[in-house]
Chain A
Amino acid sequence: MTKSQKSITKEDVQYIASLSRIHLQGDEVERLTKDLEDILRYVHKLEKLDVRAVEATSHVLPLANVYREDEVRPSLAQAEVMKVAVMSHNGFLKVPKVIQ
């Protein structure tokens, strides 16, 4: 049995939730564990394929070398940036204190 055939546990779900920065509440852990288990079971049909010699496709178009020249374009005014911001202070965005 390969690693991906193992079923997903509640601990896995908690770990992924933490990586995804989502605080799961109530029965969300149980529900997601079951949902992900179902989906992964379906996904395991890929096990039938031997892809060792197959190249990965991350771009479907054969594009390469798309650059821009090093030319300055106008930036947004600070006021525009602050208009989008949820919480700001003196031209900065404000967030809960980062503890190192």
Chain B
Amino acid sequence: MNQPLGQKYETVIGLEVHLQLSTRTKIFCGCANVFGRDPNTQTCPVCLGLPGTLPVLNKMALEYALKIAMALNCQINPLIKFDRKNYYYPDLPKGYQISQYDKPVAYDGHVWMTTVDGQTRKINIKRAHLEEDAGKLIHDDRSNSSLVDYNRTGTPLVEIVSEPDLRSPQEVYDYLQALKLTLEYLHVSDCDMEKGSLRCDANVSIRGAGQKIFGTKTELKNMNSFKAVRTALEFEEKRQREVVSSGGRIIQETRLWSEEKGTTVTMRSKEEAHDYRYFPEPDLVPFDIDDALIEEVRRSIPELPRQKFERFVGEYGLSEYDARIIVADQHIAHFFEACTKLYVDTKKISNWLNGPLLQELNVRKMGFSDIKIKPEDFIAIIRKVDENVLSNLTAKETLKQVLDTGKDVAAVIRDAGLAQVSDSSALEGIVDELIREHQNVVGQIREGKASAIGFLVGQAMRKSQGKANPKMIGEIIQRKLSAKSDA
């Protein structure tokens, strides 16, 4: 009983991720699939579920779902069909959701992810299926009513259900990152949790360490960011441990995460148990997923993050650390590869990319896709350093100005006077000044403390605003001091 809680219990988590597909139109009608419009302006008789209307499947939605299935290493059902999931809710205009029950697009897949401590883990995917999204409800306290907007109704969704393979809130966070990255590479969704294009519910239970059977699970909803998922799961994990430790029992229920309160709260208990009465959707026909379609979709799948990571390590000799950073954003990865066509030292590219360039982006709070530097400009800056035209310091300043102004590198260096000073008479003047100002340092150098030369070089760089050629300054100092001591 004195064991710490952490070792006594194991947490078991499975995730259901709902992904809105970024097709041009909705899944079963021709309404535009767009976000943020005035309420009930992106609807038609079909997505409003008006009497007599019928759904027709958007082929692109199926292709996107197949892309996802392949990227998640899933088995693909040779014949898929749709089913009705029956329940009443005001955001569901037909009284049922068209979903998939026993013949989903895909099953038995997996995602590779990297944990915070650098371990690689495989998380199994139970299934992925296509369905339609519901509308949006706004709760209006003033009029004691709820308001319904059907614009979102019929947005194509893929639900990705993981096996209960996740063991901690942090692992869930890492899994979501890995999943999101793969989905971003596919260009099938915005993957934006804040906008609701990626949503996630979690099934959480705990069990005694070493125990085989699962504990009673709760379903966690209403988490609107990756961080919220992690925090909510941490809370729920702790809550369940406390309930069980104090001799209580977990009740199977749905709990909502409250961001403001920082707690999960139970949903008002339902009138009756869920009985969705699934049955085959008679308004849609089955779909054969034949080899030709699979081949067509497979050809449209780009290189995925995991393959790219491995290739960057192997082909460009990047460290796993550097490769991971570059691959974590497909725009960066693309930029990096473009640079490698222009410049041979890939390690140096990665250093300048992951260092100064990403720092500049952090400062600006911008994404890589927001900036306008071209690989040619970026490599031009690195080359100027190689040619001693720029120091590291002036190179960073050049980069900053290129990002700010969009001017080309040569113009920035010229207009801002950033080129290195290699004119020896000017440099000798600076060194003479320094020798006068820092007699004690000069003394140390004469006594043989060579490292003190570095101090003077640094001071020379300061005086010249980084433009002095540091190599020449060092030589001048050595020459002057040894000449004097000889005298």
Chain A interface residues toward B at CB < 8 A: 15, 18-19, 21, 58-59, 61, 63-78, 81-82, 84, 89-100
Q: In the complex the two chains form, is A96's CB within 8 Å of B56's CB?
A: no
Q: In the complex the two chains form, is A92's CB within 8 Å of B143's CB?
A: no
Q: Roughly how many angstroms separate A92 CA and B41 CA in the complex, as a whole number?
A: 10
Smallest CB gap from B89: residue in A = A98
- Write out the residue numbers on chain A whose beta carbons fall within 8 Å of the beta carbon of B287: 64-65
Smallest CB gap from B149: residue in A = A92
Closest-CB distance, A16 to chain B (whole angstroms): 10
Q: Which of A92, A95, A100 has the most CB of B within 10 A?
A: A92
Closest-CB distance, A3 to chain B (whole angstroms): 15
With A19-B275, A68-B30, A93-B148 already in contact, the answer to whether A77 and B41 are too (CB < 8 A) is yes
Smallest CB gap from B79: residue in A = A64
Q: In the complex the two chains form, is A70's CB within 8 Å of B285's CB?
A: no
Q: Which 8 A-B pairs have the closest CB atoms?
A: A73-B30, A92-B147, A70-B60, A67-B59, A58-B280, A93-B148, A63-B285, A91-B39
- Interface segment, B266-274, B310-318, B330-338? B266-274
Q: Is B193 an interface residue (CB 8 A)?
A: no
Q: In the complex the two chains form, is B40's CB within 8 Å of A78's CB?
A: yes
Q: Roughly how many angstroms separate A84 CA and B49 CA in the complex, as a whole number?
A: 12
CB contact list, B47-62 vs A, under 8 A: 48, 50, 56-62
Smallest CB gap from B39: residue in A = A91
Q: In the complex the two chains form, is A97's CB within 8 Å of B145's CB?
A: yes
Q: In the complex the two chains form, is A19's CB within 8 Å of B272's CB?
A: yes
Q: Which of A67, A90, A95, A96 has the most CB of B within 10 A?
A: A67
Q: In the complex the two chains form, is B147's CB within 8 Å of A68's CB?
A: no
Q: In the complex the two chains form, is B148's CB within 8 Å of A95's CB?
A: yes
- Supplied contacts A70-B60, A74-B30, A78-B39, 12 more A-B pairs, CB within 8 Å: A64-B285, A67-B57, A68-B59, A70-B25, A70-B59, A70-B61, A72-B24, A72-B31, A73-B31, A89-B147, A92-B147, A97-B145
With A75-B32, A75-B42 already in contact, the answer to whether A89 and B288 are too (CB < 8 A) is no
Q: In the complex the two chains form, is A91's CB within 8 Å of B40's CB?
A: yes
Q: Is B144 an interface residue (CB 8 A)?
A: yes
- Write out the residue numbers on chain A whose beta carbons fall within 8 Å of the beta carbon of B256: 100
Q: Roughly how many angstroms separate A69 CA and B61 CA in the complex, as a whole number?
A: 10
- Write out the residue numbers on chain A whose beta carbons fall within 8 Å of the beta carbon of B148: 92-95
CB contact list, B87-139 vs A, under 8 A: 88-90, 137-139
CB contact list, B263-300 vs A, under 8 A: 267-268, 271-272, 275, 277, 279-280, 282, 284-288
- Write out the residue numbers on chain A whose beta carbons fall within 8 Å of the beta carbon of B271: 18
Q: In the complex the two chains form, is A81's CB within 8 Å of B38's CB?
A: no
Q: Is B23 an interface residue (CB 8 A)?
A: yes
- Write out the residue numbers on chain A whose beta carbons fall within 8 Å of the beta carbon of B150: 81, 93
| Contacts A/B (CB < 8 Å), 5 sampled | A15-B272, A59-B286, A64-B288, A71-B24, A100-B267
0/1 interface trace, chain B 344-382, chain A, CB 8 Å (1 if under): 000000000000000000000000000000000000000
- Write out the residue numbers on chain B whose beta carbons fall within 8 Å of the beta carbon of A93: 40, 90, 147-148, 150
Q: In the complex the two chains form, is A72's CB within 8 Å of B40's CB?
A: no
Q: In the complex the two chains form, is B39's CB within 8 Å of A98's CB?
A: no
- Write out the residue numbers on chain B whose beta carbons fall within 8 Å of the beta carbon of A99: 268
Q: Is B29 an interface residue (CB 8 A)?
A: yes
Q: In the complex the two chains form, is A98's CB within 8 Å of B90's CB?
A: yes
- Write out the residue numbers on chain A whose beta carbons fall within 8 Å of the beta carbon of B282: 58-59
- Write out the residue numbers on chain B whose beta carbons fall within 8 Å of the beta carbon of A18: 271-272
Q: In the complex the two chains form, is A94's CB within 8 Å of B59's CB?
A: no
Closest-CB distance, A84 to chain B (whole angstroms): 7
Q: Which of A18, A19, A69 has the most CB of B within 10 A?
A: A19
With A64-B288, A65-B285, A100-B256 already in contact, the answer to whether A71 and B144 are too (CB < 8 A) is no
- Write out the residue numbers on chain B whose beta carbons fall within 8 Å of the beta carbon of A89: 140, 143, 145, 147
- Write out the residue numbers on chain B whose beta carbons fall within 8 Å of the beta carbon of A92: 39-40, 138, 147-149
Q: Roughly how many angstroms separate A70 CA and B60 CA in the complex, as a whole number?
A: 6
Closest-CB distance, B297 to chain A (whole angstroms): 14
Closest-CB distance, B77 to chain A (whole angstroms): 13
Q: In the complex the two chains form, is A72's CB within 8 Å of B32's CB?
A: yes
With A18-B271, A72-B30, A73-B25 already in contact, the answer to whether A67 and B138 are too (CB < 8 A) is no
Q: Roughly how many angstroms separate A70 CA and B156 CA in the complex, as a whole number?
A: 12
Pick from B57, B62, B89, B143: contact of A94, CB below 8 A. Answer: B143
Q: In the complex the two chains form, is A95's CB within 8 Å of B29's CB?
A: no
Q: In the complex the two chains form, is B38's CB within 8 Å of A78's CB?
A: yes
- Write out the residue numbers on chain A whose beta carbons fall within 8 Å of the beta carbon of B143: 89, 94
Closest-CB distance, A62 to chain B (whole angstroms): 9
Pick from B29, B31, B146, B268: contact of A96, CB below 8 A. Answer: B146
Pick from B40, B57, B139, B286: contact of A97, CB below 8 A. Answer: B139
- Write out the residue numbers on chain A whose beta carbons fall within 8 Å of the beta carbon of B147: 89-90, 92-95
Closest-CB distance, A77 to chain B (whole angstroms): 7
- Write out the residue numbers on chain A whose beta carbons fall within 8 Å of the beta carbon of B44: 73-76
Pick from A15, A64, A81: contact of B43, CB below 8 A. Answer: A81
Closest-CB distance, A23 to chain B (whole angstroms): 12
Q: In the complex the two chains form, is A66's CB within 8 Å of B57's CB?
A: yes
